[in-house]
Amino acid sequence: MPVRVLVVEDSLTVRKRICDVLRSDPEILVVGEAEDGRQGIELCRTLRPDVITMDMMLPVMTGLAATEYIMAYFPTPILIVSASTNRGELFRTYDALAAGAVDVLEKPLGEESDGEWERRLVSTVKLVSRIRVITHPRGRLKSRTAVGERGTLSPSTSALSSSPKFQVVAIGASTGGPGAVVDVLGALPAPFPFPVLVVIHIGDPFGAAFADWLDQQTPHPARFAKDGEALVALSGQVILAPPGQHLIVEGGRLRLTQGAERHSCRPSVDVLFESLAREYGSACVACLLTGMGRDGAAGLLSIRQAGGSTLAQDEATSVVYGMPREAVVLGAAQRVLPLQEIGSFLSRLSSEDGVRETARSHR
């Protein structure tokens, strides 16, 4: 059976190009075209495509609003195809990814080598069609209650205190990662007693403003890492690997490198996790969230073998149960938890009582 695609794009020229490229592949069938978000919703409702390509800047109803509605009422794999590169438009793209869109592809710039963009579009549509998407509530980012005054402890976690057991928390994610990372961070008390290091696979040009977006989603300040920073000075901050650079910890300091890709990824979750296993061993907590491929599984295992605590997201709540599954198969994850329980578990783990409870559970 061919992959049935609905194309949502207001520019007739761009829409025609996308449709022509997809129709050139015998394994893809374009079942409908929409020029605004509302029309896209109606065609999705009636045609029930396997994949939707979605522009963000649309008349009548934006691509973000259409994505939120579709993922709430008839979840469908959505590939964002966008030329958005300014900060505000990038934020809408991150919002759409957090609301359930699967992946993002830039519109052609006219500078690509012959057929390069066309091949990427076809291969990405086919890849996205195989992803089992999950239902997302409407406007989930608009209704979050986790965002509050920074430095304010929530009543349920005000007794947390910094424990010498742990010194750093690390998170790795890929497909489905923006929403998952926000959910985990939003459940942590503020201020959080440790630095949180994050590697998420969002490549250029779309990754440029991700740290700024994340900074607005939870009470925890977030930014990209700077080479040479002392980790001990970063408690309570969320520090992300910049697009195109590996993030490691060496000699107690953050280092950004241009090393070889791991699993076709730079930054790589494995690279960060392995450096933390060497540097901090049992003083590290790491969790691997939703994502395609196997990046992070071997690194999570190295942290577990070094005595650290390791978590993986479960299949039911993962947009793609790829990276967490690989970790489970390797025996890298001490616990496999639903997404909604990971943040609260990290909160307990960061308290002295949680440390003792965890130690008893592993005897």
Catalytic residue set: 174, 201, 295
Sequence-ordered list of residues with C-beta below 8 angstroms from that of 52, at least 6 positions apart, any chain: 5, 6, 7, 8, 40, 44, 70, 76, 77, 78, 79
Handedness of CA 125, 99, 6, 90 (dihedral sign): negative
In angstroms, the Cα distances linking 148 to 18, 132, 153, 315, 340 are 42, 33, 10, 30, 19
In angstroms, the Cα distances linking 284 to 7, 155, 232, 304, 346 are 45, 26, 13, 9, 12
One-character DSSP codes across 142-197: TT-S----TTPPPGGGTT----TT--EEEEEE-TTHHHHHHHHHHTS-SS-SS-EE
How big is the CA angle at 292 (ends 274 and 90), to the nearest 5 degrees?
A: 95
Helical (H) or strand (E) element with 105: strand 103-106
Q: 331: how many CB neighbours lie within 10 A of its CB?
A: 13
The answer for 151, left when phi > 0, alpha when psi is -120 to 50, beta otherwise, is: left
* Residue 197 contacts residue 247 (beta carbons within 8 Å): yes
User: Whose structure tokens read 């195989």?
Assistant: 130
* Residue 240 contacts residue 218 (beta carbons within 8 Å): no
113-118: list long-range contacts, CB under 8 Å, 24+ apart: 118/21, 118/24
